[in-house]
Every structure is written in structure tokens, then in C-alpha cells.
């Protein structure tokens, strides 16, 4: 097994996960910090890099996050709108609403060993959340949630003057939901101009 530290995006930022590559090629990212918008943005970037570099089997251990609420929505948005060119399993805390929020192509497990076994077999599965308080979100609602979260991340990146990341979040929205509305097209134009200054 090889280890690497999470890439640090900006000076002073601390990594928010541990990364491992197993002998069979499975990549594992284990969250070690609370998942906020900044960490979710870095995680989205890292997952994108791994997929672009040929990673086809990925485990994200999110067992340390809160089982409901914003952290689940943030993690679900990391996987939204991605092409099915890889297999991923998320290790979720018991009773997590991630079961309802993640795209149907992403498996859910309660342990790292189960996640790894799913990838080794080549079939990922969804676990039912025990005593889930609500029914599974419809695809349209899940897509709308990921679009709203991506737009929040774009705004946050722009506030931090990270216009390249802000523009990449708008690209995610376009891939997920189609054309941007006039407000976001104007924002994209402004942010692109900031990059060239």
C-alpha cells in the first residue's frame, strides 16, 4: 500500500483527507476533517484528477461525517454529473442520508472492507438506510440540489479570488443542468476577465 498526503490548494490550507493506493489499484480517500464547502471543492478537484489520470476504482471513506445535513449534500455534489467511467463506493456512517443523495452509480458501504470487496467483485451496491425518515430523492430533485451546491461553491471560490475554481464549478453546473441563466453567464464572463488581469 502506498500513502500520499492530500494536495494543498492554497498556502496555509491543511489537507482534509488521507490517500492510499492499494496493491490492486483501488484508491482510497479517507476524510479526516469536517466536510465544509472549501474541503468539498478540493475533494471534487482531487477526484476529477484521479479519474483523468486513469483511476477506475475509488473508495471515499466518509464514515466520520454527520449522517444527515449539509456534509452529506456536499459529498453528494462531489459525485454529481460525473460520467460512469469509473466505479466508486462511499463508506457512509450508519443511517446516513447519503444513500438517498448519491448518484445511483455510486455504491454505499458501512465499512472500508465492504467497499473494497464491492470494487473487487466489480459490482457496487446500494444499502438501504435503516429506518430512513424519508423516501429516496427523485433524480430531478437530487440534480437540483447538486446544482445549487455547485453554484454556492462557485460563489465562495470567487469571493476567495480563486476564479479558475469558480469557473470550473460553473462548468459542472452546465454539464449537470444545461445552459446557465443570464446571471451566471455574466458572472462567468466577469470571472474570466479577472483571470486575464
pLDDT of res. 14? 54
- Taking residue 89's Cβ as centre, other Cβ atoms within 10 Å add up to 26
Residues 140-191 pLDDT 10s: 777 787 788 888 888 888 888 888 888 888 888 888 788 888 999 999 999 9
pLDDT band at 83, cuts 50/70/90? Answer: confident
Q: How large is the greatest C-alpha to C-alpha distance in the chain, in angstroms?
A: 54
Query: DSSP states of 118-144 as a string?
Result: HHHHT---PPPPTT-SSPPPPHHHHHH
pLDDT of res. 137? 62
- Measuring CA to CA, which residue among 143, 115, 109, 111 is closest to residue 127? 109
CA angle, corner 22, sides to 21 and 25, nearest 5? 80
Residues 30-79 pLDDT 10s: 999 888 888 888 898 899 899 889 988 999 999 998 888 888 888 988 98
Is pLDDT at 12 greater than 50 in this prediction? no
Is pLDDT at 130 greater than 60 in this prediction? no
pLDDT of res. 129? 41
Across 106-112, average pLDDT: 89
Q: How far apart are the C-alpha atoms of 145 and 123, rounded to whole Å?
A: 27
Which set of grid coordinates corresponds to residue 156? 465562495
CA 75 to chain centre: 5
Question: Is 52 within 8 Å of 42 (Cβ atoms)?
Answer: no
Q: CA torsion, points 108, 113, 114, 115, in degrees to nearest 10?
A: 40
Domains and CATH numbers, the chain: 2-121 (3.30.750.24), 139-196 (no CATH)
Amino acid at each position: 500500500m502506498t500513502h500520499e498526503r492530500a494536495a494543498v490548494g492554497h498556502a496555509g490550507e491543511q489537507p482534509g483527507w488521507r490517500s492510499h493506493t492499494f496493491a490492486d489499484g483501488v484508491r482510497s480517500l479517507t476524510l479526516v476533517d469536517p466536510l465544509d464547502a472549501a474541503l468539498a471543492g478540493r475533494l471534487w478537484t482531487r477526484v476529477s484528477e484521479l479519474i483523468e489520470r486513469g483511476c477506475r476504482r475509488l473508495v471515499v471513506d466518509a464514515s466520520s461525517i454527520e449522517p444527515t445535513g449539509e456534509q452529506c449534500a456536499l459529498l453528494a455534489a462531489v459525485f454529481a454529473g460525473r460520467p460512469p467511467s469509473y466505479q466508486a463506493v462511499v463508506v457512509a456512517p450508519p443511517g446516513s442520508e447519503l444513500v438517498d443523495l448519491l448518484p445511483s452509480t455510486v455504491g454505499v458501504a458501512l465499512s472500508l472492507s465492504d467497499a473494497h470487496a464491492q470494487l473487487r467483485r466489480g459490482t457496487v451496491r446500494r444499502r438501504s438506510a435503516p429506518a430512513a425518515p424519508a423516501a429516496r430523492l427523485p433524480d430531478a430533485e437530487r440534480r437540483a440540489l447538486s446544482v445549487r451546491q455547485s453554484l454556492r461553491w462557485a460563489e465562495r471560490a470567487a469571493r476567495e479570488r480563486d476564479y479558475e475554481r469558480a469557473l470550473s464549478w460553473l462548468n459542472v453546473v452546465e454539464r449537470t443542468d444545461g445552459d446557465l441563466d443570464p446571471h451566471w453567464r455574466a458572472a462567468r464572463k466577469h470571472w474570466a476577465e479577472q483571470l486575464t488581469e
